[in-house]
Amino acid sequence: MPRTPVGRRLPLGARHVAAALVAGAALVLTAACSTPAGSRTPTAASGPGEAQRPAAIGETPGTTTTVGATPATGGTTRPTTGADSPTRRASPPAPVPSTRRSPAAAGPHQPVPLPPPVPVAGSRRLRGVLTRVAVEPPAKHDAGGNGDVRAFVRTDSGPVEIPSDGVDHLATGSHVVADVAGGSLVAAGTTSGQPSAPSAPRRAVHEVVTVLVLPPGAQPDATTSKGLRAAVDGPVSAYWSAQTGGLISFKVSHSYGWLHVRTSCSDAWGLWAEVAAKVGYVPSPRRHLMVLVPASLSGCYAGLGTIGANAEEGGYSYVRGTLPGLVAHELGHNLGLGHSNGLQCDRAADGTWTSAGWPSGCVRTAYRDWYDVMGVSWEQLGTLSTAQAYRLGILGPDAVTTVTAPARVTLTAVSLHVGLRSLRVRTPTGETYTVEYRPALGADKWLAADWRGLRPGVLVRREDPEGDPGQTLLLDASPSRAAAFETDWDDPLAPGGSFSVAGGRVVVRVEDQTPTTALVSVQVDGKLPAPSSDAGLKRLGSRQAESDSTRVVRDPLGAPATGTSRAPERARATVTPPTR
């Protein structure tokens, strides 16, 4: 299959149209989470058809009211892209509140102080739920943005946009108070605690309502409601069930053929609201409304999905085809997951993020994690990355370990869904890196065919510091010169290879590799664990680490993988004190 440079559209064939649209752009709209006592989830008073769409800073919504607010001055309105939007401003009813927090918003957050009791003169006070909108570069004929991340406060009267760079310290789904003036954020804080750790979703079948819609100017294409239903009920449901150990699956409860709507396809909130009113969709936990817009219609978003406050929130999605990778991607947003992006640095495996951005020579590319469905998985669904699986809360204690000291672990292939599969390395400088082993095995066997240049092996990801905290970055562990970035898809860390982070204080090395396991060591400040010894051999899947990181993880396989010529002792790890 031919490789396609980043940012260039693939031929719009039946198998590629939806994937090309996702690669070109996707807008991620975040759903509200639980509402504290004394407030209510932002919805329109007179029903979904009369709710409001998000308003830009400085734009005055028709009926927006805020607590203790004064009008902002000097703001600019966001231009409408594509077909003209109707005068009615609408947003869909908000999902039903849930008490669980999304792992996508999880992190080392602490409660953030509120703004002063009295707003600064000339500022506007907003109270509501913090949501984020990721706007990726669109294809030429589609709506979108400049690849930025926009933030909104979902007030009782509708979402209002605020500067996103001023709320990076606040988690998506937090209940906030924000003061804005002149298009700038004066102050912002939370009225509820920030999420801290992922929790596993409950076992359930999620209900999906699918609707094929015809906005103004659209003509039906060959897509059928039966085809979209088949994609959701078949490969998409099977994929999420496999990734979550049977905890999450999807089933279409109602499907509707081509439905004419008055709302432009560039007004996502209004489109969802109108469709919800027409088909009687009522949001509730584990319920999803999915609309499909013809791929040929211009001025539309390439793909949308509300990011749930947790995996049980439910939500809204917007697709342009029935490709399972596209549909699974948007429902992944509903489950609380952000995008899987990529980072390339000139002859370096990583870069240092500062307030000024990435250093010269480093390029962050949206969706560039082609191994993962939350990046661009195209026709290949593969296995969900362990970085995203951790955020979803589906990795049990025997599947993931986090280390801050020297360690040596044996990772099992991610597609086997057994044993220790995810190594999280937390550096002295505060970054977290996730290491996994992805051979051409099981759901990832397609990697053996050199598909688009992707290679199997040990992959390293880090939390994406740019934009929504729910995103991840795939690192290029075998970096090239900047001139070769577009054609360099060889990202795994080769056996015997290593890379350093945190100014050289942490070194991750692949010591050995078999068809089903990889032996990975972590060196911190020049220290490594002691090598394995016959006296302390444990079963395959054990880990070796310093201080309190001494839990032995039992691999259900129970023995070294067949097909390796090395001695069994080399395929195992022990728990012994580190060398000094």
Choose between 45 and 398: higher pLDDT. Answer: 398
Is residue 372 scored above 50 in pLDDT? yes
Torsion of CA 337, 280, 51, 291, to 10 degrees: 40
Residue with tokens 């991340």: 149
Record the pTM. 0.74
Top mean pLDDT of 147-156, 171-180, 223-232, 310-319 is at: 223-232
Question: Packing angle between helix 324-334 and helix 17-24, nearest 10 degrees?
Answer: 40
Q: Please tell me the predicted confidence (pLDDT) of residue 383.
A: 97
Rg, the chain, Cα only: 24
Other C-beta atoms lying within 10 Å of the C-beta of residue 147: 16
Q: Please tell me the predicted confidence (pLDDT) of residue 554.
A: 30
Q: Please tell me the predicted confidence (pLDDT) of residue 55.
A: 36
SS3 125: strand
* Residues 492 and 477: beta-carbon distance below 8 Å: yes
Of the candidates 142, 138, 177, the residue with the CA atom closest to the CA atom of residue 160: 177
> What is the residue type of 73?
T
Query: CA dist 380 to 329, 330, 371, 416, Å?
Result: 12, 15, 8, 17
Choose between 521 and 26: higher pLDDT. Answer: 521
Least confident residue range of 83-97, 171-185, 333-347, 502-516? 83-97
Choose between 465 and 434: higher pLDDT. Answer: 434
Choose between 155 and 135: higher pLDDT. Answer: 155
Q: Please tell me the predicted confidence (pLDDT) of residue 25.
A: 37
Residue 475 pairs with which residues in a beta bridge? 343
Task: Please tell me what DSSP assigns to residue 577.
Answer: P
Choose between 165 and 315: higher pLDDT. Answer: 315
Q: Please tell me the predicted confidence (pLDDT) of residue 403.
A: 95
CATH class of the 205-334 domain in this structure: alpha beta
Q: Please tell me the predicted confidence (pLDDT) of residue 135.
A: 56
Q: Measured over all CA atoms, what is the biggest interatomic distance in the chain, rounded to whole angstroms?
A: 76
Other C-beta atoms lying within 10 Å of the C-beta of residue 222: 7
What residue spans define the domains of the chain?
A: 205-334, 340-571
- Tell me the average pLDDT across 1-17: 33
Q: Please tell me the predicted confidence (pLDDT) of residue 188.
A: 86
Of the candidates 147, 127, 36, the residue with the CA atom closest to the CA atom of residue 468: 147
- Tell me the average pLDDT across 407-432: 95
Q: Rounded CA gap, 309 and 172, in Å?
A: 8
Is residue 500 scored above 60 in pLDDT? yes
Strand order in the sheet with 407-412: 498-501, 506-513, 517-524, 407-412, 543-545
Q: Please tell me the predicted confidence (pLDDT) of residue 402.
A: 95
Choose between 311 and 63: higher pLDDT. Answer: 311
pLDDT band at 279, cuts 50/70/90? very high
Q: Please tell me the predicted confidence (pLDDT) of residue 122.
A: 87
pLDDT band at 519, cuts 50/70/90? very high
- Tell me the average pLDDT across 179-206: 82
Strand order in the sheet with 422-426: 362-365, 340-345, 472-475, 457-463, 432-438, 422-426, 400-403
Q: Please tell me the predicted confidence (pLDDT) of residue 355.
A: 83
Is residue 134 scored above 50 in pLDDT? yes
Phi-psi region of 367 (alpha: psi -120 to 50; beta: other; left: phi over 0): left
Choose between 159 and 341: higher pLDDT. Answer: 341
Is residue 405 scored above 90 in pLDDT? yes
Q: Please tell me the predicted confidence (pLDDT) of residue 158.
A: 74
Is residue 144 scored above 50 in pLDDT? no
- Tell me the average pLDDT across 173-177: 85
Is residue 228 scored above 90 in pLDDT? yes
Is residue 524 scored above 90 in pLDDT? yes
Tens of pLDDT along 567-580? 332 232 333 333 33
pLDDT band at 254, cuts 50/70/90? very high
Q: Please tell me the predicted confidence (pLDDT) of residue 174.
A: 80
Least confident residue range of 175-189, 192-206, 234-248, 265-279? 192-206
SS3 262: coil
Report the chain's mean pLDDT, rounded to a whole number. 74
Alpha helices by DSSP H, listed for 280-385, are: 324-334
Q: Rounded CA gap, 305 and 312, in Å?
A: 14
pLDDT band at 41, cuts 50/70/90? very low
- Tell me the average pLDDT across 274-293: 96
Of the candidates 411, 396, 365, 379, the residue with the CA atom closest to the CA atom of residue 16: 379
Query: How many residues are there in the chain?
Result: 580
- Tell me the average pLDDT across 247-270: 95
Q: Please tell me the predicted confidence (pLDDT) of residue 574.
A: 31
Asked whether the CA dihedral 435, 437, 440, 441 is positive or negative, the reply is negative
- Tell me the average pLDDT across 279-304: 92
Of the candidates 63, 176, 92, 85, the residue with the CA atom closest to the CA atom of residue 126: 176
pLDDT band at 411, cuts 50/70/90? very high
Q: Please tell me the predicted confidence (pLDDT) of residue 148.
A: 53
pLDDT band at 111, cuts 50/70/90? low
Is residue 472 scored above 50 in pLDDT? yes
Q: What secondary structure does DSSP assign to 132-179, as a single string?
A: EEEEPPPPTTS---SS-EEEEEEETTEEEEE-GGG-TTS-TT-EEEEE
Least confident residue range of 41-55, 170-184, 239-253, 473-487? 41-55
Is residue 399 scored above 90 in pLDDT? yes
* Residues 62 and 170: beta-carbon distance below 8 Å: no
Of the candidates 108, 140, 166, 123, the residue with the CA atom closest to the CA atom of residue 20: 140
